Amino acid sequence: MSSWERRLHRAKCAPSYLFSCFNGGECVHPAFCDCRRFNATGPRCQMVYNAGPERDSICRAWGQHHVETFDGLYYYLSGKGSYTLVGRHEPEGQSFSIQVHNDPQCGSSPYTCSKAVSLFFAGEQEIHLAKEVTHGGARVQLPHVMGSVRLQRLAGYVIVRHQSAFTLAWDGASAVYIKMSPEFLGWTHGLCGNNNADPQDDLVTRYGKLTDDVVEFVHSWQEQAPNQPPGPTTSSLPRPPCLQQNPGTMQGVYEQCEALLRPPFDACHAYVSPLPFTASCTSDLCQSMGDEATWCRALAEYARACAQAGQPLQGWRTQLWQCTVHCKEKAFTYNECIACCPASCQPRASCVDSEIACVDGCYCPNGLIFEDGGCVAPAECPCEFHGTLYPPGSVVKEDCNAWSVSAAGKRGVGHGH
């Protein structure tokens, strides 16, 4: 369509409705949106398919309005409140549910509003992830083990592993990532979809209806949040985030977000599609008036997806100086891809089949191990002897023998006395 044709079509839309579509779509007729900018689909451009071959079947929910299903369908979540992200109900007692709680009062800045995650397991009290972690309302220190569920901290994240079902990574503020074990292929429900490797049938409501109406789908998975009055019982048409912008402002928003289409991000394009993240970026900037912190956070979401797909974009933040992160701890450096099952001085629990590859944040430089709050070389790891840790070089006396702890952190040869 030529620019002249676009202007002609725009004339059929009232100026105030030019951006009454989602994800970079523009109104070309009162009942029709042009969704081609970011290859969006749906009557109002509500959805964008992520065709990336390496996206690793991770469901992600970030900010206040963004969800990408296990199978790679991104959509704009227009509702506010609490929703079932992932659920599985089995008669054998393996039932679980993961809920996300968005801020019903959130106004302009989608990454500074509160967000939280709840996990429910059959016969167990709620695990609640927010700025703190609670179990049954009581704060817990991490690491924490609860049956087949293990919680630990890694950089700024809380990692939750269910030995036979999933790994979840919560960044402590605005995003949650979930990867299911292979045996759950096709066996989930909720906002994350059915996890069957087909994004075309993800919008199945709580009542088993396949729909192309995102609003109907989302509303069916709404939950009543704890200590909150019930949400509205009818779903109203959502308000597009860029509705009140003018063409000049939108051109600036597009230019900012289309940074994802250029270096250094283009190195990941063959693995993870940038289009859902470029679309979500425009929504964020329309809501936050284009501030730099929101822009950097929107770009970071694509970088996280690339790292989780095994293609970390190390150094992208140094190329965009506005997004540089300075670590508070002098010993730490910023890393785009900290292994979720990192090297450890102590014997570690085995990684699970649903392991998320890595997370971003401040951590020990590559080659060093996080131990007791600091970073040590592998040769400096303490040695465990009868349940007690000893630094390398120690001599431990037991009965008539003296055991020396070698530099490799292993127990040395005993000498009789």
Tell me how far apart the alpha carbons of residues 35 and 260 are, in angstroms, rounded to a whole number. Answer: 18
Number of Cβ within 10 Å of residue 111's Cβ equals 23
Tell me whether residue 179 is in a domain.
yes
Task: Please state at what angle helix 292-308 crosses helix 275-288, rounded to 10 degrees.
Answer: 160
Please indicate, yes or no, whether residues 115 and 202 belong to a single structural domain of this protein: yes
Output the six-digit token pair for 331. 């010993």
Strands 395-398 and 401-405, how do they pair? Answer: antiparallel
Please indicate, yes or no, whether residues 35 and 56 belong to a single structural domain of this protein: no
Tell me whether residue 327 is in a domain.
no
Tell me whether residue 341 is in a domain.
no
> Among the three residues 293, 312, 331, which one is the final residue of a domain in this structure?
312
Tell me whether residue 101 is in a domain.
yes
Domain that holds residue 262: 247-312
194: Cα separation from own chain's centroid: 18
Please indicate, yes or no, whether residues 100 and 148 belong to a single structural domain of this protein: yes
Please indicate, yes or no, whether residues 116 and 211 belong to a single structural domain of this protein: yes
Tell me how far apart the alpha carbons of residues 20 and 27 are, in angstroms, rounded to a whole number. Answer: 6
Tell me whether residue 166 is in a domain.
yes
DSSP state letter for 352: P
Please indicate, yes or no, whether residues 103 and 186 belong to a single structural domain of this protein: yes
Do residues 403 and 396 touch, judged by C-beta distance below 8 A?
A: yes
Number of Cβ within 10 Å of residue 99's Cβ equals 23
Identity of the residue numbered 162 = H
Please indicate, yes or no, whether residues 2 and 73 belong to a single structural domain of this protein: no
pLDDT at position 83 is: 97
Spell out, as residue ranges, where the chain has pLDDT lower than 70: 1-12, 16, 89-94, 225-237, 348-353, 384-417
Please indicate, yes or no, whether residues 202 and 53 belong to a single structural domain of this protein: yes
Alpha-helical (H) ranges within 148-291 are 214-220, 247-257, 275-288
How buried is residue 103: exposed, middle or buried, by Cβ count under 10 Å (0-12/13-18/19+)?
middle
Tell me how far apart the alpha carbons of residues 364 and 254 are, in angstroms, rounded to a whole number. Answer: 36
Please indicate, yes or no, whether residues 190 and 69 belong to a single structural domain of this protein: yes
Please indicate, yes or no, whether residues 86 and 164 belong to a single structural domain of this protein: yes
Number of Cβ within 10 Å of residue 189's Cβ equals 19
Tell me whether residue 333 is in a domain.
no
Do residues 267 and 313 touch, judged by C-beta distance below 8 A?
A: yes
Do residues 74 and 47 touch, judged by C-beta distance below 8 A?
A: yes
- Give the pLDDT confidence of 334-379 residue by residue, as tens digits: 999 999 888 888 776 566 667 898 999 999 998 899 988 889 998 8
Report the DSSP beta bridge partners of residue 404: 395
Tell me how far apart the alpha carbons of residues 284 and 279 are, in angstroms, rounded to a whole number. Answer: 9
pLDDT at position 164 is: 86
Output the six-digit token pair for 202. 């993800």
3-state secondary structure 274-303: CHHHHHHHHHHHHHHCCCHHHHHHHHHHHH
Tell me whether residue 339 is in a domain.
no
Task: List Cα–Cα distances, 216 to 32, 206, 208, in angstroms.
Answer: 19, 10, 12
Number of Cβ within 10 Å of residue 219's Cβ equals 20
Count of the separate structural domains present in the chain: 4
Output the six-digit token pair for 13. 């839309």
Q: What is the DSSP string of 242-265?
A: TTT--HHHHHHHHHHHGGGGSTTG
Tell me whether residue 354 is in a domain.
no
Output the six-digit token pair for 348. 């570690």
Residues sharing a CB contact under 8 Å with residue 70, sequence separation 6 or more, in sequence order = 57, 58, 59, 178, 180, 188, 192, 193, 194, 195
Nearest to 313 by CA among 239, 385, 263: 263
Please indicate, yes or no, whether residues 181 and 107 belong to a single structural domain of this protein: yes
Please indicate, yes or no, whether residues 191 and 119 belong to a single structural domain of this protein: yes
pLDDT at position 12 is: 62
Please indicate, yes or no, whether residues 114 and 178 belong to a single structural domain of this protein: yes
> Among the three residues 164, 190, 223, which one is the final residue of a domain in this structure?
223
pLDDT at position 380 is: 84
> Among the three residues 295, 312, 329, which one is the final residue of a domain in this structure?
312
How buried is residue 74: exposed, middle or buried, by Cβ count under 10 Å (0-12/13-18/19+)?
buried
